[in-house]
Amino acid sequence: MSSTGSGYSATDIITFIGIPLAVLGVLPILYNTVATLAALSKIKRMLRHGRLTALTRSDVVNRVIEVELPRYAVTPCDRFEETELYWRPSRQPSSIPGGSWTTFNWQTRAIGAKTQRVEYADQLRQPQVDVAFDKLIAYLLDLGAIPDAHGWKLLRSTGLWTPTGCSLLKSPDGQHEALTIAPLDDSDGHLSLKANWSSHWTTRDFSSLPPYWVRLLPPPQPEPSEITRGVGPEETPSSAQGEAEEGDIEKGKEKRHSSLHKESLDSIQKQAENNSRATITCQISVEGLISAKSQEDEAVGSPINLQNLYIEHLRIRPGKTDGIWFSSVATAYGTTSQTVLWNYKIPDEILNFARRDSLPCGILVLLGVVDASQTPEWATNYNGQEEARDLFFRRSADQRAAIMAESKMTPPQREIAARDRMQREMNQRLQDMRDHSRLENQRRETRTSEALQSPKWDTKLVAEHNLHWLKRNQELAIASGVNITSDTTLRDVVGSLLHRMILDGQFASSICKMLDLWKSWADNGGMRRSDLEALREDQVVFALASLLVALVKDTSTAHEGTLSLDLQECLQMWKIVRLG
């Protein structure tokens, strides 16, 4: 082994230099290992705090941590079944960015997973959840949030270009932001939102009417005398039942079957009577009526004793307009009260029909709803009394002339002439009656034609006159199942009609058929004689239908560009959004 003049060999020099270099080369690996393990520990602690299940993998050499988190689709808890979870925020919300949705309790469904590669713990992002936009807004509004008109107007006009942090909903005091626009990092082209809520912000409870719901009060009950008039005496058990022979088994079975059948019918009738006196709340979504529940008045503020009602006859279906008419009128009924329905949009053709002047005023005169003096001049005036007087004078003059001529005749000739005169006068009277009848028919046809061509009135004016007519003819309204008193308002009647339409499918069908008929002649150039005959056959139904149209007209005259329209457009533009 050779040595240098310094006394160190080449091996020693290599050792002195190589070992420190080797140590320096290992230090980054050690640092990466320590830093990765520390970041992984912090990430797991964040996941445990947020009660999140995730798969974690780490590469200590490259200082990379892989976190696989599930992605969820969520929907708010059931307001009627999960009352405590619905009104209470989550006790342990996640603090990870993108997890603002964990502020609330949800019904969740896993729809996939997302893998993230991070280096530091603060780079971790919780996947946003998919949620129906209308359900999210309804939930926050139900808790007490208030819409920000500027935010919704900006979202409607700019869409995904809306600035991050723009407020859509605020806390009840208006000082904090409850729902804002979030960055589009994890949105995949969806609208991205961020939620914020505090337990003391909740200002509503179960007794409050939820958004998109309408409360329909029961119609006033008729007088007790009218109720008892249609109720027959109760059937009493036959005395022969107690005297039946013990061996007559078949007869006993028939009686038991009849008794059970009678009890079943009594139970159904009792339930129907209870529903007719109960308050009904119905939910209106973008697709129309989706739920209706009845509840006794004394239990309106309680989540118990709720009963789902049959609503299949009022669902929106292809080829049928019953559901569209009901949802449109119910939306108008809710929009004009303190409860604002923002998600269902009344079809434009119905709004245009409600705005249009479509009913000739002369038709209301023919139906006896208004007096001719209340309408503009539209009919030809005939002086029937003058014509009858002229005819009477002419016939009297002819008779006097014939009698004078008979007085100059011999008795045999006078008798023959008088007999001929009497026969001639009888024929003239018959002919005059036929002429009068034909003239009256012609004038009636002319009057009908003129009525069909008379000036058209708007639906609001038609409804006002029909309401007065119903109040004057209360017996006709009660016979049709509608109790209208002298102090009943148009809104009260419409609420009662919607209440009955849910419970009585046949009544709902008759109302909607009349509305279809009315809209048909309004869209096709005017009313025809067949339409007039249909109104005469069901005049009460027509009067009630006009009240529904008038309420829709009130809604159609709302200010354009209002908060409700902005919200409505946005909810239709984005069905599913990302929340996080």
Residues forming a β-bridge with 66:
57, 117
Find the length of the chain. 580
The 3-state secondary structure of 319-361 reads CECHHHHHHHHHHHHHHCCCCCCCCCCCCHHHHHHHHCCCEEH
CA distances from 315 to 132, 289, 507, 511, 513 (A): 20, 6, 15, 15, 15
Given a contact cutoff of 8 angstroms between Cβ atoms, the answer to whether 457 and 359 are in contact is: yes
Given a contact cutoff of 8 angstroms between Cβ atoms, the answer to whether 1 and 9 are in contact is: yes
Q: What is the CA radius of gyration of the chain?
A: 41
Q: Which residues contact 498 (CB under 8 A, 6 or more apart)?
A: 214, 216, 282, 326, 329, 330, 333
Sign of the CA dihedral 278, 279, 283, 287?
positive
Q: Domain map of the chain by residue range?
A: 392-452
How far apart CA 422 and CA 406 sit, in angstroms, is: 12
How far apart CA 71 and CA 109 sit, in angstroms, is: 8
How far apart CA 321 and CA 349 sit, in angstroms, is: 12
State the residue for tokens 């971790």: 124
From first to last of the 580 residues of the chain, give the pLDDT tens digit. 444 455 667 776 677 666 666 665 666 767 767 777 777 777 777 777 767 777 777 776 677 878 888 889 999 998 888 888 999 888 888 888 888 888 999 999 988 888 888 777 777 788 899 999 989 998 999 999 999 989 999 999 998 899 999 999 999 988 999 999 998 877 788 899 999 999 899 988 888 888 888 888 887 766 654 444 444 444 444 434 444 444 455 555 555 555 555 555 555 566 567 777 788 988 888 889 998 988 765 444 455 557 888 999 999 999 899 999 999 999 888 875 556 667 788 888 999 999 889 899 999 999 999 998 888 888 787 656 777 777 777 778 877 887 787 777 788 887 887 788 788 878 777 877 877 777 778 878 888 888 899 999 999 999 999 999 999 988 887 877 778 888 888 988 999 999 999 999 999 999 999 999 999 999 988 899 999 999 999 999 999 999 999 999 877 655 445 777 788 888 888 999 999 8
Q: Which residues contact 421 (CB under 8 A, 6 or more apart)?
A: 399, 402, 403, 406
